[in-house]
Structure 1
């Protein structure tokens, strides 16, 4: 068996499909397993929807255990990375620094003055006030009887 280098991308042929992955015969000798999670970039319910016996595939060697001769492979990692065609920021609320504006740190208009924690505390205070008002109303009714 030839030396397989972790991280290299090699050609292989699907020789067996199991419920948990596919066994690949590597060019240059040896076999490895592509786990079901490493078949495609999307969820794989049935490997047979993606691979067939005798399919030629490119795989990336993820690990080699020299004691057991087990080779872990990935088809996903061997796929070319899709290039982003839009260079827009991923966050739709993102604004470049120039567009954010200047804020006085002591001002209430500072965007961080209403943090999620402060917002939660305000909602909790309002809830407790309403709860106490309702309890007082129920206690008054109970005392009238």
Structure 2
């Protein structure tokens, strides 16, 4: 399967990004997780990576949703990462927006950051999704 690269302009810089669909296991359910990678200076520059946990909960469970980040979501990721120290012109490496360091300050309407895709020690996605919905309703 071919990976589709998309482009997004911010100021004079053109960012290239892709999003890959994954699923992560929670204690009670599977959840859709989208890994977003962004480059601002070609593949040689420091990449931005964020794993987005879908907040969708349907009658059939969480993993079957069709959530996918919009260009506006990716723009919000880029702007937040730039404010958080990402330097796209730096050579090599990856700047990761992590749940542990950034989740309290960064939430999209349909997603939250998760570390569960990178490590099994990340917070349980089922608990995070249910807690988010409980906060929204209460």
TM-score by length of 1: 0.27
Structure showing the higher helix proportion among its residues: 1
Q: Relative CO higher for 1 or 2, CA cutoff 8 Å, sep ≥ 6?
A: 2
TM-score (ref. length: structure 2): 0.28
